[in-house]
Amino acid sequence: MAPKYQIGQKVVITPVKTQQLSPRDAALEPYAGQIGKVADYYWISLGSGGGVVYIYTVLMEADQKELVVHEDELEAVIE
């Protein structure tokens, strides 16, 4: 499976809505709805038959801070 987002692509931070927020989710909340650009991505293999998970480094436009975000916490910006 190929990554959903490419380096240089603009994305919006969209934390996954769960009933119970983890400390990691709480750290993303201030960036919800903000735009950033994919700086890099990495993959993790979940073993035989488990597939691949992509994790992205996103450079935020507002403050140039880098965030590490799971693929399901991003949406593409349509320009």
The answer as to whether 5 is a domain residue is no
- Summarised one tens digit per residue, pLDDT across range 56-76 is 999 999 899 999 999 999 999
Q: Is there a domain that residue 64 lies in?
A: yes
Write down the pTM of the prediction.
0.83
Range of the domain at 64: 10-76
Per-residue pLDDT of 36-63, as tens digits, reads 999 999 999 988 888 899 999 999 998 9
Name the band, by pLDDT with cuts 50, 70 and 90, for residue 79.
confident
Residue 1 has pLDDT above 80, yes or no: no
Report if residue 4 sits inside a domain.
Answer: no
- Provide the 3-class DSSP secondary structure of residue 11: strand
Q: Classify residue 3: in a domain, yes or no.
A: no
* H-run or E-run covering 23: helix 23-28
- For the record, the structure tokens of 25 come out as 């989710």
How many domains, in total, are found in the chain? 1
